[in-house]
Structure 1
Amino acid sequence: MKYDILVLGGGFAGAYCAKALGANRSLKVGLIAERNVLVFHPMLAEVAGATLSPLDVVHPLRHFCKTADVLQGKVKRIDWAAKKVIVDGGRFTRNHAIEFDQLVLTLGSVTDLSKVPGMTEYGLPMKSAADALRIRAAIINRLEEANLVEDEEVRQRLLTFVIVGGGYTGVETAGQVLDLVQSAKRFYANLRDKKTRVVLIHSRPHLLEEIGPELGDHAQRVLERRGMEIILSSRVSEATSNRIHHGENGCIETNTIISSIGNAPNPALLDLCKQLGIEPDKGRLATEPTMRVKGHDNLWAAGDCAAVPWNNNGELKTSPPTAQLALRQGRQLGANILRALRNEELQPFTHRYLGQLATVGAHEAVAEILGFRFSGFFAWWMWRSIYLSKLPGFGRKLRVMIDWTFELFFPRDLSVVLPVQEDPMPSVHFEQGENFVEKGDPCRAILYVRTGKITGTAPGQPDITFGPGCVIGQEEMDANGCWTYNLTAAERTDAVLFRGRALDLLRAGLRIEGDPRPAP
């Protein structure tokens, strides 16, 4: 599988770049994305607040980029010397090697909550439509539990919701959580007269510092007037299942922590920088103003993962990681690649800064447009009008308009439709002769053999046998996390799979009692 131009990342920059490249139908263009949808991030908070459906804020990439081959998978590694990308296609497919002539990096960032102890286990990230849906379900489930319990201390902990981070995502999510909790209470017989707490913790002295202290302080006043607690200049230090610690001695009893922080560079991008001998600029790949990487004619980058020089009305600076700029960078990058293939002069990225908007719930917002500042209902109307016009697809626009109209006259939907979470340690059964792992498959679970026998075979290697009490795991994997043996049930076998968090613990060095081999 080989492409003239391969785009990595299905966000605004990647999707609009692939769409622009479609102007030349003679080119073979591939777009690799972890999900087959373009997520409209500015409206995610409304999904968490049960105002919009998750399907309202996503658009199928195959509809959006009709002239590109859309491939769903996770980029594991970029082999620059061989001009190929290794992609993990999913649960039932091994890694795929995809070759390219021109490579476009729009990988964005990844979520890493590990810097705060306990946040990975107990913090709910807010980055995708699935994250927003999980947050919505978590809030409603806490209300259901609080309506059931009689212990007042437990109930208060269930009715306390903490949002970490006071940027756009944090403030908009906090406003929607406050709206959802306050509007839903009247439907719970045992909660109507109970106090609910929504707490926003921010490490800086002002909310929404991207807009400026004046509008950030106005957003704070609006949220506090509506009953939200806001803690500024305080960093979260630890999270547990029942509380969150911040600042010097701050502690809040809560069972719901929503995190809008924790963005980290994509590991595949950092690995490529090492291969090329490039020092990342605060985790971003530095480019020329044309979005081509200096010294590499067939390597380009845009969006959140790229440090693109930006000429804003004569002022040259590095473009911030915002959707507004990523969208326009993607369009211009596609046009520049086509110019490069025609040996034409490339155009540097220029865009006049239009401003920023953020909602704070209850039909209020704050906005800074072309240097003018607005707040209140008018800013909220502007927010909805502008973002509705930017939403891809007429069908999505119509759905959002209908849902927004319903929200004005009807209560928010309190249905919880998420499936039950999978067991991280399920029991499995293999029949005699069943070949369930092939050499080269990515390892997504470690096996503990309870009864029976499993045989491992590989060309040029002696066979190995695993009986009751054996763990099949790290010793049977290569450096890329792929199996080095074919695994076959030599007889009827029952085993336990360790995956997810259980798999992480085993890989960290834990072992199961009874394993006759040395600990991994």
Structure 2
Amino acid sequence: MTPKRVVIVGAGFAGYEAARSLTKALPPDSGVEIVLVNPMDYFLYLPLLPEVAAAVIDPRRITVSLPATLPGVRLVLGEVRSVSLDERTVHYTDPEGGAHGLGYDRLILAAGSVNKLLPIPGVAEHAHGFRNVAEALYLRDHIIRQIELADATDDPDERTARCTFVVVGAGYTGTEVAAQGPLFTDRIVERHPHLRHQKVRWLLLDLAPKVLPELDPRLSRAADRVLRHRGVEVGTGVSVREATCEGVHLTTGEFVPTRTLVWCVGVRPDPLVEETGLRTVKGRLVVDPTLVVPGHPDVFACGDAAAVPDLTRRGEVTAMTAQHATRQGKLAGRNVAASLGHGRMRRYKHHDLGFVVDLGGTQAAANPLRIPLSGLPAKAVTRGYHLLSMPGNRLRTAVDWILDVAAGRQTVQLGLVRSAAVPLDTELPRQGTRTG
């Protein structure tokens, strides 16, 4: 038999699970080569990114080695630029700028998503995104730097601006960033006696009528209470009208002097999706319930890149969540194996098992199996869920959590990432920072 090659584009939740499930679904003597194309040699566990930005855990904890955890999968480091469906070839650029082509017999598109931009003046130039390790490390350094620069100035207006932090987007990521923020800045300020009487402001803004609008109202209220108790100014029905180097103009007409604008308004499919020329819905590839792209039986798509029909809600597609991406990736791997004669094709049907939101300290909000929890019980469920979901580094992550309680957070700048390396506009050069 002629050897077959399966190429998987992206090693996010969907791509990683597709590679792992495909490996398990194929017999050892199948003769199928599995190739995973990704800019980095790790899987990024995105849900814990806010804890990296707040110096709770080391960034290496959420970067799980692909070669170490996916034996039998060939890793190709590269940024996929285009896909030739007629030639069955993926075109990519390696980290040193070399252009390559990679043929396939089956293709799994799991390119993931990137920061979602809105046509708001100044946002692309002055906001900080939050989708990868580089952006989290940059934000961590930036927050520390603003407090240190505030301590060094005698100008009260400059000090106030540097001690004001604005987060836009009250979904999962934005809420977690805003919740972790005061705990982090309080720790930094403790080491700067001159700022003892300086107010440090954290603002969380969203046009939605409440924080975490996609969650059960009880969980939303619980998260809102935690945020306000920590002094976070929650502005619902409010967003940014314009961003400048001096601050932000809000839709209410107010001007907030600040040097920090964290952009967490959501995500959009990777630009590669549009470049394929395949049919899309809201930027996501159209697929059937088996994750096959119509008209292209050799192409599968899953995760944020795919508009997967939600068989539990007629006429809808699944949400862009890690939970769906993980389960779709598993099914994509099994269905690709079935298309090669190993197993049978199945349709994607999944009921949500609940969500968890870590609010820092001893606080969290969760609804496992639709049971709303808050406080310590939710915290226990949240951390247990993350440890079970992580494909590696569990012990190291748990140790970091213990050290955070026992020894506190380290508050020094690392200086590893400069602002030019993390532009919010993903159409700009990313210097290898984009993840699948």
Q: Is the Cα contact below 8 Å between 1:15 and 1:64 reproduced in 2?
A: no
Residues 59-108 of structure 1: per-residue CA shift (max 9 Å, x gap) = 01111221111111111111112211110112x33211111111111011
**Is structure 2 residue 397 aligned with structure 1 residue 400?**
yes
Which SS does the other structure have where 1:71 is aligned? strand
TM-score (norm 2): 0.91
Deviation string 1:370-395 (CA, Å, 9 cap, x unpaired) is 121111121112111111121112xx
Residue of structure 1 in register with 2:17 after alignment? 16
CA offset digits 1:185-222 (Å, max 9, x no partner): 11112112211001111111011112133321221122
- Report the AA paired with residue 28 of structure 1: E
Partner residue in 1 for 2:218:
214
The runs of 5 or more residues in structure 2 that have no matched partner are: 422-427, 431-436
Match of 1:60 in 2: 65
Q: CA deviation at 1:423?
A: 8.6
2:100 equivalent to 1:106: no
Aligned ranges 1:11-90 → 2 under 5 Å? 11-23=12-24, 24=26, 25=28, 26-90=31-95
Matched residue, 2:318: 319
Aligned twin of 2:382: 383
User: Taking every aligned residue pair, what percent have the same amino acid on both sides?
Assistant: 30
Q: Pick from 139, 143, 153: which aligns with 2:157? A: 153
On the 8 A contact 1:19/1:67 being kept in 2, the answer is no
Bigger Cα Rg:
1
Q: What residue number does 2:294 align with?
A: 294
Give the 3-state SS of the residue equivalent to 2:67 in structure 1: helix
AA partner of residue 412 (structure 2): S
After superposition, residues 108-507 of structure 1 pair within 5 angstroms as 108-113=112-117, 115-261=119-265, 263-272=267-276, 274=277, 276=278, 278=279, 280-312=280-312, 317-342=316-341, 345-393=344-392, 396-419=393-416, 421=418
The superposition leaves residues 244-264 of structure 1 with CA deviations (integer Å, 9 ceiling, x where unpaired) of: 122141221100111112523
Structure 1 letter corresponding to 2:361:
A
**Structure 1: runs of 5+ lacking an equivalent:** 425-498, 502-520
Provide, for residues 335-367 of structure 1, a one-character-per-residue CA deviation record: whole Å limited to 9, x for no partner: 111111117531111223210011222311111
Partner of 2:434: none
Inter-partner Cα distance in structure 1 for 2:117 and 2:125: 9
Give the TM-score, by structure 1 length: 0.77
2-side partners of 1:321 and 1:227: how far apart?
30
Give the deviation of 1:419 after TM superposition: 3.4
Distance 1:41 1:423, change over 3 A: closer
Query: Is contact 2:137–2:417 with CA below 8 Å preserved after alignment?
Result: no
Q: Which segment drifts farther, 78-87 or 413-422? A: 413-422
Verify the 8 A CA contact 2:165 2:261 in the aligned structure 1. Answer: yes
Q: Is the 8 A contact 1:224 1:230 kept in 2?
A: yes
CA distance in 2: counterparts of 1:423 and 1:136, whole angstroms: 16
Look up the equivalent residue of 1:366 and give its one-letter code. A
Cα separation, partners in 2 of 1:46 and 1:11, compared to 1, 3 Å: same
| Separation in 2, partners of 1:246, 1:282 | 28
Residue 236 to residue 403, structure 1, CA distance change in 2 (3 Å) = same
Q: What is the number of residues matched between the two proteins? A: 418
- Give the conservation status (yes or no) of the 8 Å contact 1:164–1:257: yes
Match of 1:516 in 2: none
Q: CA deviation at 1:183?
A: 2.2
Select the structure with the greater relative contact order (CA < 8 A; seq sep ≥ 6): 2
Summarize the Cα distance change of 1:259–1:289 in structure 2 as closer, same or farther, 3 Å threshold. same
Shift of 1:113: 3.2
SS at match of 2:90: strand
Kept in 1: contact 2:138–2:417 (CA 8 A)? no
1:420 and 1:125 map into 2 onto residues whose CA distance is 13
Structure 1 residue runs of 4+, over 3 Å off?
314-317, 419-424
C-alpha separation between the residues in 2 aligned to 1:392 and 1:223?
Answer: 31
1:301 shift after superposition? 0.5
Paired AA for residue 20 in structure 1: S
* Cα distance in 2 for residues equivalent to 1:346 and 1:210: 32
Query: Cα offset for 1:173?
Result: 0.8
On the 8 A contact 2:166/2:258 being kept in 1, the answer is: yes
CA distance in 2, matches of 1:366, 1:251: 32
1: CA distance, partners of 2:85 / 2:187? 53
Per the TM alignment, residue 111 of structure 1 is displaced from its structure 2 partner at its CA by: 2.3
Shift in CA distance, 41/334, structure 1 to aligned 2, threshold 3 Å = same
Give the Cα separation in 2 of the matches to 1:154 and 1:142.
10
Structure 1: which amino acid aligns with 2:262? I
Deviation sequence 1:293-351 (CA, Å, 0-9, x none):
12211010000111112334x87742111111111111111111111111753111122
Task: Specify the SS of the correspondent of 1:419.
Answer: coil
Instruction: Note the aligned Cα RMSD (angstroms).
Output: 2.1
Letter in 2 for 1:78: V
1:402-421 residue CA offsets vs partner (Å, 9 max, x unmatched): 11111112121012112374
More helix by share: 2
Please tell me the residue identity of whatever aligns with 1:9: G
Q: Distance in 1 between matches of 2:110 and 2:420?
A: 34
Instruction: Go from structure 1 to structure 2 and tell me whether the alpha carbon gap of 1:151 and 1:327 turns closer, same or farther (over 3 Å shift).
Output: same
Name the residue aligned to 1:448.
Answer: none
* 1:35-78 per-position Cα deviation (integer Å, ceiling 9, x unaligned): 21101111111001110010011101111221111111111111
Distance (Å, rounded) in 2 between the aligned partners of 1:367 and 1:133: 27
Secondary structure of 2:401's aligned partner: helix
- Give the Cα–Cα distance (whole angstroms) in 1 for the partners of residues 409 and 420 of structure 2: 31
In structure 2, what is the Cα distance between the partners aligned to 1:500 and 1:47? 24
Given the superposition, is the C-alpha separation of residues 81 and 180 from structure 1 closer, same or farther in structure 2, using an over 3 Å criterion?
same
Cα distance in structure 1, aligned partners of 2:420 and 2:238: 36
